[in-house]
Every structure is written in structure tokens, then in C-alpha cells.
Chains A and B, each alone.
Chain A
């Protein structure tokens, strides 16, 4: 497509308002946070904030490997990714494939998508609620099978896991919807041709469906990673990072440093840490946007 050369009045009208707001409320604060992270209490440039934060047991607590949770917010975020990412991605794909030929599949899809629609603050209450000893639905199910029931968010070993599984319940709708949309775009003729060649459904799944869904998978993984790294509301209402810091995450720790201790230097360091990891996660997205912009 040939682009027209913009004249000054075009820039003023189309671009300037957006560019200005982004510059003032997004770019400037981002740069300011980076500089803040290098400024010490005395106002001089220093690495002491980084040293203090990175050695803090709030962020990484290696004792966790001997005695169990907490491991520190950074490791908790990594664990969140390690469990939640494959779980939601596969679950979404699996459900998308199954629900395609089910009577009332759209209703089930809508039900599962509900978790995506509700505010995460409510999501956190729901998660806390389902793992509650007396009123929680998880314990009802466990009780039916005669298993131990407890308030899962109250124990250091299970608090983080409960939040992770609860957030799977909330987030699975995302990959489900994306994969469902992706499946629609695969021409039926591909399958018909393969069927004539005598391919089994499993084979077709691996040889046609998965490769053709690759662009979607990239998006699902990227967005899910971003979501996991930014996780805040759920933890804030469900456990506030407890017990004993066993379900603490980076975003919550940043808030604690910044808006409870009012220590902006340390808060800035944690913010930079989160941002670096989200940028790494977003590389494919940024690259494709950069290529497209040519």
C-alpha cells in the first residue's frame, strides 16, 4: 500500500494527541522508573537498590529448596509460568477441538469464557472461595472421594498452587476462544483430502491442525506470559501473598515496596524486573509489528 506523505495539519490532527498522551503518561514514566531504580536515598546514582532487592528474601529465597515455600516472588512467578502456561494452552486447544462438534458447544465456550470477562478482583474472590474449607467447591468434590479437605490457600505448600489452578480456571477461556477462531480458518478441504488418503483423526490433528495453528499459538503463549508476569489482583484479594509470603508475586511486592513502605527506589527495581521479563516475552509480537510497519 502506498502511503501518502503527511502534511503538518494531518500530523496535528491524527497523530499528535495520541503521541502526546503516550509520551507524557507512558514513555516518560517508564524512563523515570528506570532512573529511579538507580537513585539511592541520598539522591546519588547507585546500584544499591538493585543489590538490596535482588538479595532480599522477598524476591528470591533459596532456603525454599530445603524447607519448602516461600521461594520468593520472582521464583513464584516462574512457577506460575511453568504450570499455568502449558496447562491453559493445551486445555484451550483441547477444548477448542472437542467443542467444535458438540451440541451446544457455544454455550460451553461462553461458560468457560466467563472467567475472562469477570474483573480479576472478583476472580480472586472466586478462587479464594472455591478453595475454602467449609464453603468451597473444591473441598466438596474432594470430600465426595473421601480425600482431605482444608483451606488450600492457608497452607504454604498449597497456597500458590491453589492460586495457579484457580487462575487456570479463569484464563483457559482465552486460548479456547483464540484456538476456536483459528480452527474456523482452516479449510475443511484439507481434512477431506487427508481423509481420502486414509489419515487417522490423530494424524490429521498433528499434521494439519497444529502446524496451521502455529501463529495462534505464538499469540496465545505471548499473551499468557504477559498475563502471568503481571498477575496482581488475584493474589491481592485471595491471599495478599501469604501465608508467610508463600504466594507472593513480583507485582504485589512492587506495590508493597512502593505504596506501603513508600520506598520508591526498591519499587522501581521490581518494576524494571517485571518489565524486562515482559519485553522478553513480547519479542515475537514486537518483531512482527516491526516487520509489518515497513
Chain B
């Protein structure tokens, strides 16, 4: 279990209709691509409040995202060193530019906020609801078997952790017989991948039998969505947030104080 897995709860985000939630995540992620510093800051405040309201610990969040934050740090440094502009520090051939720092900070902030948006989505959405939303969104598209795709998404989400566990078990079994001393990468992959694939195929075979035994069919009971006024309010608030994020901040300030 990590912070990206579903955390049961009864917050407004948990209760939000998954179709609206999916649309909001897409909108906010797209708006973040266009957002400046001010827009990112507004988004950061809103997302921080939502993380707090959802009950996710900020410390836990930082610990779980430590490698991602490191990646953002590397992106920031790369941008600082590669974007041409006004130099603010130079050491032999290495030049850090003002424009590089600004761009690096902005890109890192955007990626970080997209990650937090996704995290809030996954932590407050049951995988079954995610499957239902995928089915609903795919339904109007011709030639796409939406129910089959939905069950595939559901099975993928369900079995990915199982596959990772099995990979760890195979790796442990290999290492228990000093397989870690073997430095040949081809042999290592062979001893890890072949047994793992065998286990996965056997598990898939058992799963097919178990699903058959429970009368699995693509013609299943359709999911029922319950949309309330709160969903509309959330959607409205989300659209406003996106507009604030993409609107140049000086225009936003002028509009606010001029009126």
C-alpha cells in the first residue's frame, strides 16, 4: 500500500462523481502546462488544501515522492545550465542563467503539481469507479469494446501489484542461490524473466478459469453514476481554477481590481 493506492474515506473528493473527477484532472493538468508562476501558486494552495482535507500526511507524501522530487531537482539543474540568457554565475564553461533558473523552477513546479493532482485522483478514486469512468468515456467511440477495455483496466490495476510481488519472489529465490554473483546481464534477465513469465501465464490461466466459473461475460450490469449539485459545484470551481491558472496574472489582477 502506498499513497497512490485508494484510501477509503468520505471526503467531498471521495464522493465526487468519477466522471467529473476525471474531467477535472484532465483540465487542471492541461491548464498547468500553460500556467505561470502565479497560476502555479494558486493551484498549489488549492491542491494543498485538498491534500489536507483528504487526510494524506504531508510528511508521508514527501517521503513517498522523494525520488520524484530528486528527478525534479535534476530537471531544474539541467534547465539552469542549458537555457541561454543572462549569466548570474559562471565557473569555467559552466554558466547558470537567470532565464534557466526561472524556466527550471516553472517546469519543476508544473510537474510537481501534475503529480499531486494525479495522486489526489488515485487516492480518492476506487479502481472500480475508474473502470466505470473509462467505460463511460469510451462508450460513444465506435469500434471500441468499452466493456472489455474496462475489465482489462480493472485487471491490470488488480494484478500489477501481484506481478511485482512475484517478480520480487523470483528475484529472492535467484539471490538465495547466489544468483546475485552472476554479473552477466543476459543470464540474469533469463533467470528472472523466464520464471516470472511462467508464473504470470499460470496465474492468468487460473484467473481465466475463475472468471469463467463465475459466468464472466462482457454483457454485464452497467455501472450507475450518481450526480449531485456538489459535482456541478466542483466542476464550476475547477473551471474557474483553470481559467485563473491560464489567464496572465497581470490581466487577472487588472480585471479584479478594475471592476
- Is B truly associated with A? no
Seen from chain B, the residues whose Cβ lies within 8 Å of a Cβ on chain A are none
